[in-house]
Structure 1
Amino acid sequence: MVKWNGWWLLALAAGLAAGPTIPVAAADEDTPEQTTVGAGAAANGDATTANSVADFDLEGGTLALVAVPVLHFERASVEELINGSKTLKTQGELTPQLQVNDYRGSNAGWQVTAKLGAFQLTGAADRQLIADSIQLGQATVTGDNTATLAIDSKNFSGIANTVLAAPQGKGSGQTSAKIAAAALTLPQDVTILAGNYEATIDWTLTAAPQATQP
């Protein structure tokens, strides 16, 4: 009996000496990453260092053809086209100008092509006139990253040709081309009818420099 009581008292004493059990909280999964610094401390005036990281995300935008020029050409006469071909110049300043915005953040470059369709006589669906050529003249190209960029004077009547292109590493941000003039050459036509002629220009922006498309 004394022996049993002694064992019970000994166990109780051991539990009290160990102290109460304190629960340990689980690690929070949302706790930010931390940089662990070594336990070694600077001694005798020596320095100890540690590295950490600073970062941020930069979101890219879009590539967009913001504006294309409207080309108003000077007047010609029926007599001139019966007698031969005729080259017309644009009237006044071309508005709006050609503008491309590139905020992709890829610096991959881009290309703008143009293609002039057939001129249609207003009010006469069966009367069309296909120009011999149309070309953009000199232009001032400005923007955020436009070094070496220039308007191309290739003929784009009936064929898609490049008029402005940014090679890889150029053309990021805003690019504007203020075109001084354009020239339209009409063929000789002895059956030409008087009236207003209008044609559509298809302007196409591609996301990277490409070869000329037929």
Structure 2
Amino acid sequence: MKPMKYWVIGLLLLSGLWPSQSVLAADPTDVGPAMPAVVVDGNATATSTAQVDVVAQTLALVQVPDLRFQAVKVKDLIQGPQTLAMVSGSVTKDGEGPGFDGDDQEQIVVEDYRGTNSGWQLLVKLDAFQLADSSQTIMPTLAQFGPTNAMGVNVSGVGLSDANFADNDAPVVVAPADRGTGTTTIQIATASLTLPQTKSVLAGDYRAPLNWLLVSGPQP
């Protein structure tokens, strides 16, 4: 009986009728996590990831100027309004050394390393001039910078405006969106102020605070 059984099996194998298990070739494009790219014939492809972190920093007002204007005579101020030109950035307080915060380089410096490209705006307001003993104040009617272009790596269209900043928060530098990134420097070339007629003016050294405000975005 056994010889007959083996003879039948051999016949089935020769005729291709014996059941067999299929074997599938690997798909070279099917690459999943922790799976190798298997190549039967041709090329294999795979994709990985590279990463770099760009770290946001700050928007900073680095430098603002002190402003010294030319002297005016008592006679002239009694007779009428007087317009005075800036002569330097050198200002001192009696017995107190250099003016607080300001510098004598006649420069404005803003740094924008936030990485938002949202722009920024610098406003300034000149308050009333006052004698050291506060016995008299004089409020200018006009204070202006001469228009000046900015210096920096991304300052196209950024510059110092001639907006009146006497008793007014005036936007003197505006960096629109996508401008003013990096370090922006403005060298003040000219500035002027107008004092009103003061019929009972007192002689002396008058000082006034310049209040600077740096805000994010092209509008305050």
- TM-score, normalisation: structure 2: 0.75
Which residue pairs with 2:83 in the alignment?
Answer: 87
Q: 1:57 aligns with which of 31, 53, 57?
A: 53
Can you list the C-alpha shifts for 1:95-117, whole angstroms capped at 9, x where unaligned?
24101000001101000000001
Quick check: 1:135 aligned with 2:144?
Answer: yes
Q: Output the CA distance in 2 between the equivalents of 1:191 and 1:54.
A: 74
Counterparts in 2 of 1:36 and 1:121: CA distance versus 1, 3 Å: same
- The equivalences for 1:106-117 within 5 A come to 106-117=116-127
Which amino acid letter does the alignment assign opposite residue 114 of structure 2? R
Q: Output the CA distance in 2 between the equivalents of 1:196 and 1:106.
A: 44
Q: 1:194 aligns with which of 203, 208, 212?
A: 203
Residue aligned with 2:78, SS: helix
Which residue pairs with 1:47 in the alignment?
Answer: 43
| % identical aligned pairs | 38
Q: 1:183 aligns with which of 158, 173, 192?
A: 192
Which amino acid letter does the alignment assign opposite residue 84 of structure 1? G
Q: Output the CA distance in 2 between the equivalents of 1:36 and 1:174.
A: 47
Counterparts in 2 of 1:39 and 1:159: CA distance versus 1, 3 Å: closer
Which residue pairs with 1:152 in the alignment?
Answer: 161
Q: Unaligned 5+ residue runs, structure 1?
A: 1-33
Can you list the C-alpha shifts for 1:28-57, whole angstroms capped at 9, x where unaligned?
xxxxxx9545554141xx222111110121
Q: Output the CA distance in 1 between the equivalents of 2:142 and 2:57.
A: 36
Asked if structure 1 preserves the Cα contact closer than 8 Å seen for 2:37 and 2:46, the reply is no
Aligned-CA RMSD value: 1.6
Q: 2:179 aligns with which of 170, 174, 182?
A: 170
Q: Output the CA distance in 2 between the equivalents of 1:81 and 1:101.
A: 40
Can you list the C-alpha shifts for 1:65-117, whole angstroms capped at 9, x where unaligned?
00001100011101111111000001136624101000001101000000001
- The equivalences for 1:28-43 within 5 A come to 35-37=33-35, 39-43=37-41
Shift of 1:122: 2.1
Counterparts in 2 of 1:117 and 1:53: CA distance versus 1, 3 Å: same
Residue aligned with 2:110, SS: strand
Quick check: 1:208 aligned with 2:217?
Answer: yes
Q: Output the CA distance in 2 between the equivalents of 1:36 and 1:209.
A: 50
Q: 2:132 aligns with which of 122, 131, 138?
A: 122
Asked if structure 1 preserves the Cα contact closer than 8 Å seen for 2:108 and 2:185, the reply is yes
Residue aligned with 1:80, SS: helix
Q: Unaligned 5+ residue runs, structure 2?
A: 1-31, 90-103
Which amino acid letter does the alignment assign opposite residue 141 of structure 2? D
Q: Output the CA distance in 1 between the equivalents of 2:33 and 2:84.
A: 72
Which residue pairs with 1:68 in the alignment?
Answer: 64
Question: Which deviates more, 139-148 or 58-67?
Answer: 139-148
Asked if structure 2 preserves the Cα contact closer than 8 Å seen for 1:67 and 1:96, the reply is no
Q: Output the CA distance in 2 between the equivalents of 1:141 and 1:179.
A: 10
Which residue pairs with 1:78 in the alignment?
Answer: 74
Counterparts in 2 of 1:41 and 1:179: CA distance versus 1, 3 Å: same
Counterparts in 2 of 1:39 and 1:54: CA distance versus 1, 3 Å: closer
